[in-house]
Amino acid sequence: METSDQLDWKHLGFSYIKTDYRYISVWKNGSWDDGVMTEDNYLRISEASTALHYGQECFEGLKAYRAKDGSINLFRPDRNAKRMQDSCRKLLMPEFPVERFIDACKKVVKANERFLPPYGTGGTLYLRPYMIGVGHNLGVKPAPEFIFGLFCSPVGAYFKDGLAPCNFCIADYDRAAPLGTGSQKVGGNYAASLLPHKLAADAGFADCIYLDPATHTKIEEVGAANFFGITKDNEFVTPKSPSILPSVTKYSLMEIAEKRFGMKVSERDVYIDRIDEFTEAGACGTAAVITPIGGISYKGKLHVFYSETEVGPVIRKLYDTLVGIQFGEIEPPQGWIFKVE
Ligand code: PLP
Ligand code: COI
C-alpha cells in the first residue's frame, strides 16, 4: 500500500492511489441510510446489478485544494452535486441530497488529509462521487437498490504537466447521440469514448475531439473536457449543444472572462471548417484544468492555433485566475469556494 510520505507530490499524474477512507451510503426501501466512512475499497454487489448490465451508473469529479493560507478549498461542489442529481433523473436513480453530497466531500477530504498534496506542488485531491444501481434484477428496469460512494485520490496533471499545449485529432466516432445522455455524466458515454481515445493516443495525440453526432460539422467536446476558443476580437466562444457535458470549469471561465476581463462571451455553434476564427483554443475541465490546444488534426491536416509549444496570453491569464481562485491566492466570486474544516 502506498503511504502519503512516499508520494512524489510534484509528479503525481492521474491514476488511482488508495487512500485511507471512503464514504458509502445505501438506498433501500425508498430512502438513503445515514452513510458510513469505511477503510474497505472494495464493493460487494449482486451479480445481477443494473450497473453491471445496463449501465445504470453515474459519477462526478471535483477537487480539494491546499490553499496558500493552509486551509482546504473545495471548488463549487454544489454544482457537481446538482449535476449528479440531473444524471440521476435521466437514469431513473434516486437523487442524493446536495447538502449530504457536500458533507460527504468534506468528510472524505478530512479523513484523508495526509493525501492532500501540499500547496505549491500543483497537486490536488481528486474526489470521485458515484452512484450505481445494485440488488438482484434481470429485466431492463431500474435497480431495487443503489449505492452512493465517494473516494479520493491525489492527482497531478491529466494531460501534460503545467500549462503546456497538446495536439488533438477529430474522432471518427460519436460519444453520445443528439437526444441521448451526452449532457449527463454517465458511464456509458465514457465506455463509448475508450476506443476513439485509444486510436487518438496511438496516433500520437493527447485525445480526440468529438463533432456533433447529427451533422459532424461542429465541435462538441475534447475527450473528457469542454472546448473553448478565443477569437481575433477577444471573444470567448464555446460550443452550444444538448449532447455535451455542462462543465463547471467552463461556466466558471465564462464568468471570469466576462466579469474580470471584460470579454464578450458566447455559447454557439463552432464549425470545424471555420476554426481559423480562433487565435487560441483550449480544453477545460476538472481533470484537464485548462489545457491549451496546440493544434487540431482534421482530414489529414494539422491546424495550429497559437503555437504547438507556447501558451497564448489570453489562456494564460484565464488559467492564472482560475487556478489562483482554486488555491486561495485570488479573491473568489461569492459562493465558489467551500472550506473543509
Ligand atoms: N466533458 C466531459 C465529457 C467530462 O468528462 C468533463 C469532466 O468532468 C468535462 C467536460 C469537464 O467538466 P467539469 O469542468 O465540470 O469537470
Ligand atoms: C473530470 O474532469 O472530473 C473528469 O471526469 C475527467 C475524467 C477523468 C473522466
* Sequence-ordered strand ranges (E) for the chain: 22-28, 31-32, 36-38, 57-59, 62-66, 72-75, 124-134, 145-155, 166-170, 207-211, 219-222, 225-231, 235-239, 264-268, 278-285, 289-298, 301-304, 337-340
pLDDT in tens, the chain (341 residues): 456 778 999 999 999 999 999 999 999 999 999 999 999 999 999 999 999 999 999 999 999 999 999 999 999 999 999 999 999 999 999 999 999 999 999 999 999 999 999 999 999 999 999 999 999 999 999 999 999 999 999 999 898 877 999 999 999 999 999 999 999 999 999 999 999 999 999 999 999 999 999 999 999 999 999 999 999 999 999 999 999 999 999 999 999 999 999 999 999 999 999 999 999 999 999 999 999 999 999 999 999 999 999 999 999 999 999 999 999 999 999 999 999 99
Looking at the structure, tell me whether residues 220 and 140 fall in a common domain: no
155, 185, 202 — which closes off a domain?
155
Asked whether residue 336 is assigned to any structural domain, the reply reads no
Looking at the structure, tell me whether residues 306 and 274 fall in a common domain: yes
Pick the atom of ligand 1 nearest to 79's CA: 15
Instruction: Report CA(124)–ligand 2 centroid distance (Å).
Output: 13
Q: Nearest 5°: CA angle at 156, between 203 and 308? A: 40
> What pLDDT is recorded for position 3?
65
Active site residue 160: no
> What pLDDT is recorded for position 25?
98
Residue of minimum CA distance from atom 5 in ligand 1: 224
Looking at the structure, tell me whether residues 150 and 275 fall in a common domain: no
Structurally, the chain folds into a number of domains equal to: 2
Task: Identify the active-site residue in 185, 198, 299, 317.
Answer: 185
Instruction: Report CA(245)–ligand 1 centroid distance (Å).
Output: 6
Instruction: Report CA(62)–ligand 2 centroid distance (Å).
Output: 8
Asked whether residue 333 is assigned to any structural domain, the reply reads no
Asked whether residue 142 is assigned to any structural domain, the reply reads yes
Contacts of residue 11, Cβ cutoff 8 Å, sequence gap at least 6? 156, 161
109, 131, 155 — which closes off a domain?
155
Question: Cell numbers at residue 161, please?
Answer: 504537466
Looking at the structure, tell me whether residues 179 and 143 fall in a common domain: no
Domain encompassing residue 57? 4-155
Helix intervals (H) in the chain: 50-53, 77-90, 98-111, 187-202, 248-255, 313-326
> What pLDDT is recorded for position 4?
73
Asked whether residue 289 is assigned to any structural domain, the reply reads yes
Angle subtended by helix axes 248-255 and 77-90, to nearest 10: 130
State if pTM tops 0.95.
yes
127, 155, 183 — which closes off a domain?
155
Pick the atom of ligand 2 nearest to 158's CA: 8
Looking at the structure, tell me whether residues 99 and 30 fall in a common domain: yes
Asked whether residue 110 is assigned to any structural domain, the reply reads yes
Asked whether residue 173 is assigned to any structural domain, the reply reads yes
> What pLDDT is recorded for position 161?
76
Give the ligand whose atoms come closest to the C-alpha of residue 124. Answer: 2
Contacts of residue 41, Cβ cutoff 8 Å, sequence gap at least 6? 18, 22, 151
CATH at 320 = 3.20.10.10
pLDDT in tens, 18-52: 999 999 999 999 999 999 999 999 999 999 999 99
Looking at the structure, tell me whether residues 142 and 265 fall in a common domain: no
Q: Is 249 in the pocket of ligand 1 (CB under 6 A)?
A: yes
Looking at the structure, tell me whether residues 170 and 268 fall in a common domain: yes
> What pLDDT is recorded for position 287?
94
Looking at the structure, tell me whether residues 142 and 45 fall in a common domain: yes
Nearest to 278 by CA among 298, 251, 306: 306
Looking at the structure, tell me whether residues 37 and 128 fall in a common domain: yes
Question: Cell numbers at residue 183, please?
Answer: 449532457
Asked whether residue 337 is assigned to any structural domain, the reply reads no
Give the ligand whose atoms come closest to the C-alpha of residue 287. Answer: 2
Asked whether residue 332 is assigned to any structural domain, the reply reads no
pLDDT in tens, 153-185: 999 989 887 799 999 999 999 999 999 999 999
Pick the atom of ligand 2 nearest to 288's CA: 2
Instruction: Report CA(284)–ligand 1 centroid distance (Å).
Output: 8
Looking at the structure, tell me whether residues 253 and 182 fall in a common domain: yes
Which amino acid is it at 273? D
CATH at 27 = 3.30.470.10
Looking at the structure, tell me whether residues 26 and 107 fall in a common domain: yes
CB 267 within 8 A of CB 98: no
Q: Which residues have C-beta atoms less than 6 Å from ligand 2? A: 61, 224, 285-287
For the chain, give the number of residues: 341
Looking at the structure, tell me whether residues 185 and 236 fall in a common domain: yes
Distance CA 193, CA 158 (A): 16
Instruction: Report CA(339)–ligand 1 centroid distance (Å).
Output: 22
Distance CA 230, CA 119 (A): 30
Give the ligand whose atoms come closest to the C-alpha of residue 221. Answer: 1
